[in-house]
Structures are given as C-alpha cells and as structure tokens.
Structure 1
Amino acid sequence: MDDSKRAIGLLDSGVGGLTVAREIFNLLPGEDIIYYGDTLHLPYGPKKLSEVRSYVKEIITYLKEEKKVKAVVIACNTGSSAALDYVKEKFDIPIFGMIDSAAKKAVKISKNEKIAVIGTEGTIKSQAYQDAIRAESQEAEIFAKACPAFVELVEKGKFSGPEVETTAYSYLESIIKAKADVLILGCTHFPYLMPVLAKVMGKDVSLVNPAQETALEFRKELNMSNLLNKDFVQGKHKFIVSDKSRISKSFLEHGRRFLKLDNLKFEEENIFLALKNRGGNLNNA
C-alpha cells in the first residue's frame, strides 16, 4: 500500500484529544483517522511521567503494528510532555506532539510578553510549555497553573454553566491579576470550555488552542514528507477507547454537538489487557 494512503493515528488519555481530531478533520478531510482514547487510565495528569510514557509507547505500538498508521499525533499535552522525545527515538514513523507550535504562536501574538499556560498537573510540572516558551523568548514572563478539575468537568460533558464558571474564576484569578495577555489552553480538554474561559479572561486576552496549531504544523510536515493523501475522497474516522464504560452519556450528547460529529461512536479495545494476558509489562513493553 502507498504510505500516503495509510491512516493517521491519534491518541489521548480520553475524549479530550477529539478537539485535535476535529481540527485535523477540517484541515485534512481526505485522511483516514484512527483515534485511541485511553479511558482506562484516565486521567494522565496526576500520574508519574514514566507511567504515562509507558502508556503512550504501548498505544503507538498498537497503532503502528495493528493499524498500520503512517504517522501519529500525541493529541494529549501530558502525553506529549512525558513521551514525545522518547517515542520519536523508538519508532520509525513521524510522531507529533502538542507543545512547540502553541508556544511559538503565544510568543508571536503576545504584546506585553506575559504568557499564561494552564494544563494538567503532569504538563505543568514537566515544565514542557515553560521551556518551549523560553526557547522562543528569554524575556517572556510565564504564569503556569494546573487546572485538573477542568478535565473532570469535560469528561462529564459539562462545558458551561455556573459550576464551570466558578471553577474557572477560581483557577484563573491569579493569572488575570498578573495581566497576562495570552492564555495557552495546555490540555486538549480545555477547548471545550473556550467560551467560558474567554468570558472569564476578558476581551484583551488571546486564547491559544494547541489543537489548531498542531493540526497546521502536522499538515505541513505530512506534505513535506510526501505522506499527504491527495485523493479527493472523504476520509473514514474510527474511534476506539480502552474502557467504554468511562465515557459519560452527557459527554456523548454535548460532545457530538461541539465536535459536529453526529455519528460519534466508540469501540472498545483494551490493548493493555491483551498485553497482560501475554505476560508483558508496560515498563518494558
């Protein structure tokens, strides 16, 4: 098979990465997409980075060996910060993360060089965004905040309402006082909350959605690598999770509408159980 005709693999800790999938659907409508959400191990944020790295490695192995994908997007900021450099050395297919392109965008559009980033505990503690921003500008003042409750709200299908607004004000108060003029949504779950976050931050603050920046960079790299599928045929999309029971009905209802995916359905494939049955170990898989 022509490599350009193979599917693209996306992975995330749950349903948050579907915000990245949506951007890729829009930019690359002819590409087949296989999405794997590791709902079994959700959330990745509080876990050790070494643990997250092992999950990411196992999922990419599955996508490459079983699904024969031509490239992988780690559509998860925690997964990108924990594993991107590691897995790029382990696999012979292009693998992309979420962080660098968003950091570049933030530095480019900031007027006062005060940049804030919100994410999971793992992403913020990893310093991945902070390092990427500093690589673009040594003068930038960075404000980083872990916002784990946002992930829980999105997974439950709560994208707006009093609970979301109260949580947002609580998390973002210090960033507002610091007068940051750019806010990076450093978790793929957070774009679901963008209207609320924009309201809380105010009209003078620009929100950077890494999903959009990653999709643009991904299309560019596929084209340069001659992996872009140039057939004018609508691509096929498949959604797989490791534990279907952990997807809330509320998310399916609101998520379908947000993502404009009326036919959003998940299949379950617990690749980690298969590994366990083979006597394998995630740490040396």
Structure 2
Amino acid sequence: MDDSKRAIGLLDSGVGGLTVAREIFKLLPGEDIIYYGDTLHLPYGPKKLSEVREYVENIIAYLKQEKNVKAVVIACNTGSSAALDYVKQKFEIPIFGMIDSAAKKAVKVSQNNKIAVIGTEGTINSQAYQKAIKYESAESEIFAKACPGFVKLVEAGKFSGPEVEKTAYRYLESIIKAKVDVLILGCTHFPYLMPVLAKVMGKDVMLVNPAQETALKFRKELNKANLLNKDIFLNKDIVEGEHKFIVSDESRISKSFLEHGRRFLKLDNLEFKEENIFLALKNRGGNLNNA
C-alpha cells in the first residue's frame, strides 16, 4: 500500500485532543484519521510522567501495528511533555507533539516578552513549555499555572456559564496582574473554553492555541516527507477522509460532552468505539511494542 494513503493517528488522554483533530480535519480534509482517546486513564495531568510515557508508547504501538498509520500526533500536552523525545527514538514513523510550535508562535507575537502558559499539573511541572519558550527567546518572562479544574469542566461538557467564568478568574488572577500579552492554552481541553478565557484575559492578550500551530507544522512536515495523500492533489473535488474515533473506556465519556462537543467541533457524526488495548495488554502480560 502507498504510504501516503495510510491513515494518520492521533492520541490523547480523552476527548480534549479532538480540538487538534478538528484543526487537522480543516487543513487536511482528504486524509483518513484514527483518533484514540485513553479515557480509561484520564486525566493524564496528575499522573507520573513515567506512567504517561508508558500509556503513550503502547497507544502508538497499537496505532502502528494494528491500524498501520503513517504518522502520529500526540494530541496531548502532558503526553508530549512526558513521551515525545522517547517515542521518536522508539518508532520509525514520524511522531509530532504539541509544545515547540506553540512556544515559537507565542514568542513571535509577544510585544512585551511576558508570556503565560496554562496546562495540567504534569505539563506545567515538566517545564516543557518554559524550556521551549526560553529556547526561542532567553529574554522572555514566563508565568506558568496549572489549571486542572478546566479539564474537569470540559470533560463534564461545561464550556461556558457562571461556574466556568468563576473558575477562570480564580486561576488567572495572578497572570492578569502580571500584564502578560500572550497566553498559551497548554492543554487540548482549553480551546473549548476560549470565549470565556478571552473575556477574562481581555482584548490586549492574544490566546495561542497549540492545536492550530501543531496542525500547521504537521501538514508542512508531512508534505516534506511525501506522506500527504497524493489523491487529494490529483482530484479537484476532495472526498472527505474517513474519521474513526476510538476510546479505551466508553463509559467515561459524559453525555453532556457529546452534546456540546458535537456542536463545538462541528462533528455531527461524532461517535466513539471502545477498544481497550490495555486489557489485552494485561492479559498478555507485556508491552504492546514488544508483543
């Protein structure tokens, strides 16, 4: 099979990474996408990075071996922080994370060199964004804040309203006082809250969505590697690619999220199939990558 016609794999700890999937759908409408949300182990944020790395490694092995994907996007900031460098050495297919392109964009657009990043505990504590920003600009002053409550709100399908605004003001008060002019949404759940976050931060603060920056970089790198589906460029009328959504535990997806998420993502056909690769792994007593 022509490598360029194989599907693209995306993975996340749950439903947050669908914000990345949405951006890739828009930029690469003819590509087949297989999305795997590890709802069995969500949230990744509070877990040890070594534990997250093991989950990510096994999901990539599954996507590569069972689904024959041509490339993988770790559509999860915590997963990228914990595992990207490791899995890029482990697997032969191209693998992309969420951190570097967003850090580069933040430095580029900041006028006062005061940049804030919000994310899960795992992402913030890993220092991945802080290091990436400093790599781009040593002069940048960085304000980092873990906001785990945002993840819980999104998973419950709460994207707006008084509870969301109150939580946002509580988390962002110190960042607002610091007078930053750029805020990186360092968790794939956070773009669901973008209207509220924009209101709380004010019109003088630019919000950087890593999902958009990652999708742009991903398209560019796939093109350089000759892995974009050639049929897309040969046909004027692009046939939309096939999109499959898989989770490790379907029972942990809230009905409220499905209702609001379908509207937000413009995915009327958003349905999930359960494939618990970790149960199969437990029964075999090994690592998928070595199975």
TM range (shorter): over 0.9
| Residue 263 (structure 2) aligns with | 257
- Answering whether residue 227 of structure 2 is matched by residue 227 of structure 1, we say yes
The correspondence of residues 1-285 of structure 1 with structure 2, limited to 5 A, is 1-231=1-231, 232-280=238-286
Q: Give deviations 1:112-166, integer Å, cap 9, x for gaps.
A: 0000000000000000000000000000000000000000000000000000000
- Partner Cα separation in structure 2 for residue 40 and residue 200 of structure 1: 32
The structure 1 segments of at least 4 consecutive aligned residues displaced by more than 2 Å after TM superposition are 281-285
**Structure 1 unaligned spans of 5+:** none
Gap regions ≥5 residues in structure 2: 232-237
CA drift of 1:281 comes to 5.3
2: CA distance between counterparts of 1:206 and 1:230? 36
**Paired residues, number:** 285
Q: Work out whether residues 54 and 283 of structure 1, in 8 Å CA contact, stay in contact via their aligned partners in 2.
A: no
CA distance in 2, matches of 1:281, 1:26: 34
The structural deviation recorded for 1:283 is 11
Secondary structure of the residue aligned to 1:69 is: coil
SS at match of 2:167: helix
What SS class does the counterpart of residue 139 from structure 2 fall into?
Answer: coil
Q: SS of 1:116's equivalent?
A: strand
Structure 1's 263 and 118: CA in aligned 2 closer, same or farther, altered over 3 A?
A: same
Evaluate the alpha carbon distance shift between residue 281 and residue 31 of structure 1 in structure 2; reply closer, same or farther with a 3 A threshold.
Answer: closer
Aligned partner of residue 34 in structure 2, secondary structure: strand
The answer on whether the counterparts of 1:241 and 1:268 sit within 8 Å (CA) in structure 2 is yes
Alpha-carbon shift at residue 234 of structure 1 (Å): 1.3
Taking structure 1 as the reference length, the TM-score comes to 0.99
- When the two chains are superposed, the root-mean-square deviation of aligned CA atoms in Å is 1.1
Deviations 1:27-86 (A, max 9, x none): 000100000000000000000000000000000000000000000000000000000000
- Describe the SS at the equivalent of 1:158: coil
- Describe the superposition over 1:92-124 as per-residue Cα deviations: whole angstroms up to 9, x where unpaired: 000000000000000000000000000000000
Name the amino acid aligned to 1:261: L
Match of 2:218, SS state, is helix
Q: Structure 1's 144 and 87: CA in aligned 2 closer, same or farther, altered over 3 A?
A: same
The corresponding residue for 2:234 is: none
Q: CA deviation at 1:24?
A: 0.1
TM-score, L = length of structure 2: 0.97
2:114·2:179 contact (CA, 8 Å) conserved in 1?
yes
The answer as to whether partners of 1:14 and 1:37 remain within 8 angstroms in 2 is yes
The alignment partner of 1:256 has SS state of: helix
Instruction: In structure 2, give the amino acid aligned to 1:7.
Output: A
Deviations along 1:156-195, one digit per CA (max 9) or x if unpaired, are 0000000000000000000000000000000000000000
